[in-house]
């Protein structure tokens, strides 16, 4: 599959999240999809939707800054601005199997509140 097609799938996935289209998000994942973040260690598809799916009405704007595709993987960096003034920038690594997403690994960036660095509480 060409790199441009992987980038299109990623853009469509982010658009589906923003429009709360869970069916489209589920359809973009393989049956054995797994997800890893600083809070989740290789959780499966069912656990991902139970734990991580929530309405996106808290998001003011989400900007895809870059999508870099190499072989069956792609790195996506985006900035998200919440309605309450918080913002953050994350990078995610997508691994593809054919035209479906098999794995996503999320790397969290710093969080800001109205433009001011918001230190995480330990």
H-helix segments, the chain: 3-18, 22-28, 45-52
What does residue 50 show for φ and ψ, rounded to 5 degrees?
Answer: -70, -40
Encode pLDDT of 24-62 as tens digits: 999 999 999 999 999 999 999 999 999 999 999 999 999
State the pLDDT confidence band at 2, using cuts at 50, 70 and 90. Answer: confident
pLDDT number for residue 57: 92
Domains, the chain: 3-117 (3.10.450.50)
pLDDT number for residue 1: 74
Between CA 66 and CA 35 the distance in angstroms is: 20
Q: Is the pTM of this model over 0.95?
A: no
State the pLDDT confidence band at 122, using cuts at 50, 70 and 90. Answer: low
pLDDT number for residue 119: 80
For residue 69, give the H/E element and its range.
Answer: strand 59-70
Position 109 pLDDT exceeds 90: no
Contacts of residue 1, defined as CB under 8 A and 6 or more positions apart, other chains included, come to: 96, 98, 99
Between CA 46 and CA 32 the distance in angstroms is: 10
User: How much of the chain, in percent, has pLDDT values that exceed 70?
Assistant: 98
Between CA 110 and CA 87 the distance in angstroms is: 8
């Amino acid at each position: 599959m060409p790199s441009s097609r992987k980038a299109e799938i990623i853009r469509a996935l982010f658009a589906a999240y923003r429009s709360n289209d869970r069916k489209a998000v589920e359809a973009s994942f393989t049956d054995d999809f797994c997800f890893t973040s600083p809070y989740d260690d290789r959780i499966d598809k069912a656990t991902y939707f139970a734990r991580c799916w929530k309405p996106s009405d808290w998001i003011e704007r989400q900007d895809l800054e870059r999508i870099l595709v190499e072989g069956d993987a792609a790195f996506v960096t985006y900035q998200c601005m919440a309605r309450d003034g918080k913002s953050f920038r994350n990078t995610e690594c997508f691994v593809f199997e054919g035209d479906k997403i098999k794995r996503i690994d999320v790397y969290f960036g710093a969080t800001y509140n109205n433009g001011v660095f918001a230190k995480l509480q330990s």
